[in-house]
Amino acid sequence: MHTEQLNAPKSYRWRRHLARMFGVKLTGDIPERLIAAGLPVPLSAKRRDRLASIRSSGVLFIHVPKNAGTSLSMALYGHAITHDTMRYYERVAPGFVASAATVAVVREPVERFVSAFRYATNGGTPCRWVSEPFRATYQAFQSIDAALDHLERYRDPFDVDHIFRPQRWYLADAAGRLAVEHLVPIDDLGRLHALFADRKVAPFPRLNVSRASGMTVSDVQRERIRRLYREDVALWETVRSERRHESGIASVRTRAGAS
């Protein structure tokens, strides 16, 4: 047994053993394994409490990592939520999903990767650490290329921490279709207040912020990132195109009203 395993708290060693039984590194991924196998998903007391607060809000926010999710979940629910997928909510609360407003924030993939890389090499932030099974590996990355080499070797989402998983992975249903009604670009968060105008939503605090960095991404690295997250690139371009279209319609209406 490794030294770090001997020194780890007993509860952590037990969770790690349980995760390995399901072929994952994080116990939070076990529900995804159960869903894929068509098995029931048992809910712990913490999961039941989180689901109750989400139900009471009438809004299902899918927390995609590195997309301002901590801030938004605090505003919506008064507490942080975990990185559960649409597949999870469709399994454990199908009636609620059918009636709730569903929303997620999306981000330009290269920008998101740089944020995740900075977070990973720092070991996390004062608010949240990188998950223990990945922390040492990620802190040892000496460059963006080293991180990309690692991610190109480990393409299964369960082999990497949430911060490096594709955005679309969180937003798709069991058939692989996008299942979130409102996809909001991270640079247009003001739109969320319009979406929730009829609800009491607290101002958005800024939490879980990585330290600033003047990191430069080369053209070659940028292309590697875009290849790695090609589905996210397509998603981002679609969302931005739809947003430009909506803004164009709004501008036409404004000019028509002025005349």
For the chain, the average pLDDT equals 87
pLDDT for 64 equals 98
User: DSSP readout, 204-230?
Assistant: ----SPPPP------HHHHHHHHHHTH
Q: How far is CA 31 from the centre of its chain?
A: 16
Which range has the top average pLDDT, 8-17, 192-201, 236-245? 236-245
Residue-wise pLDDT tens digits, 157-168: 999 999 999 999
Write the CB contacts of 22 (distance below 8 Å, at least 6 apart in sequence): 29, 30, 33
Q: Which long-range contacts (CB under 8 A, 24 or more apart) does 228-232 make?
A: 228/113, 228/148, 228/151, 228/152, 229/109, 229/113, 229/166, 229/167, 231/166, 231/168, 232/106, 232/109, 232/112, 232/166, 232/167, 232/168
pLDDT band at residue 202 using 50, 70 and 90 as cut-offs: low
> Among residues of the chain, what percentage have pLDDT more than 90?
68
Q: pLDDT at position 205, please?
A: 55
The pLDDT, as a whole number, for residue 126 is: 82
Which carries the bigger pLDDT value, residue 246 or residue 45?
A: 45
How confident is the model at residue 71, as a pLDDT? 85
- Average pLDDT for 40-69: 95
| pLDDT value at 258 more than 80 | no
pLDDT(212) > 70: no
